[in-house]
Amino acid sequence: MNLVLLGPPGAGKGTQGDRLAGECRVPKYATGDILREAVREGTELGREAKGYMERGELVPDELVLALVREALAGSEAEGGFILDGFPRTVAQAEGLRRLLEERGCELDAVVYFDVPEAELLRRLSGRRVCSGCGAVFNVTSGLEAAAETCARCGGELETREDDKPETVLNRLRVYRESTMPLLAWYRKDSGLLRELVAVGSVEEVYENLRGAIGCS
Ligand SMILES: [Zn+2]
């Protein structure tokens, strides 16, 4: 199973993708993780990417593609893989298709996690991060609603700059503008795209996800 998961920040594709990867025993690659790991390991591509990140610039498509190529080259991806948050642009999607053609394979499905904007805003602006241990909580999920301190280490919970409402709205707008052409491209392209209404409990969304990719 070669799968791409797309969706705005807060859509839950990370959580769902991790679970699917575990149950299907395939590796999951999130672009952010690949980037951070390459930078940490100080590989040639990592050093190049670091330069862009430090200047606050987007890492160019070609470089992201090279990093994905490197990640997929490992033997663990032979039986399938899940890509989380990649591709982000039509150029990256075209590059991914060429890359897979070289490997003699193709994508089986592209799943788009569709969540109404109001719900995304609620989820994202409810996110709190522990200043001590980095644990992530959601004050809208009920359980930790009253908590101002971390349930794990007692540290103070903070709202990241990224999760403030005005920043969230801007992130969603940027995401929408960059992703709509990509969705249109996949929609046109051989019926790969599955649009998943990713609202409800984690369990419900997971069942829908499995249904969407024809996994029983
Ligand atoms: Zn903590």
pTM, entire model:
0.82
CATH code, domain with 83? 3.40.50.300
User: With 90 as the cut, is the pLDDT of residue 69 above it?
Assistant: yes
| Percent of the chain residues topping a pLDDT of 70 | 95
171 is catalytic: yes
Domain that holds residue 91: 2-116+179-212
Write down the pLDDT at residue 113: 95
Q: Of residues 28, 123, 127, 128, which has the active-site annotation?
A: 127
69 is catalytic: no
- Does a structural domain hold residue 41? yes
- Does a structural domain hold residue 70? yes
194 is catalytic: no
> How far, in Å, CA of 76 to CA of 139, rounded?
37
- Does a structural domain hold residue 140? no
- Does a structural domain hold residue 207? yes
- Does a structural domain hold residue 84? yes
Tens of pLDDT, residue by residue over 112-158, are 999 998 888 888 888 888 999 988 887 765 544 456 788 889 999 88
- Does a structural domain hold residue 145? no
- For ligand 1, the distance from its centroid to the CA atom of residue 135, given in whole angstroms, is 5
167-172 mean pLDDT: 87
Q: Of residues 40, 103, 160, 188, which has the active-site annotation?
A: 160
- For ligand 1, the distance from its centroid to the CA atom of residue 129, given in whole angstroms, is 8
- For ligand 1, the distance from its centroid to the CA atom of residue 112, given in whole angstroms, is 32
Q: Of residues 88, 97, 187, 210, which has the active-site annotation?
A: 88
- For ligand 1, the distance from its centroid to the CA atom of residue 138, given in whole angstroms, is 13
Count of domains for the chain? 1
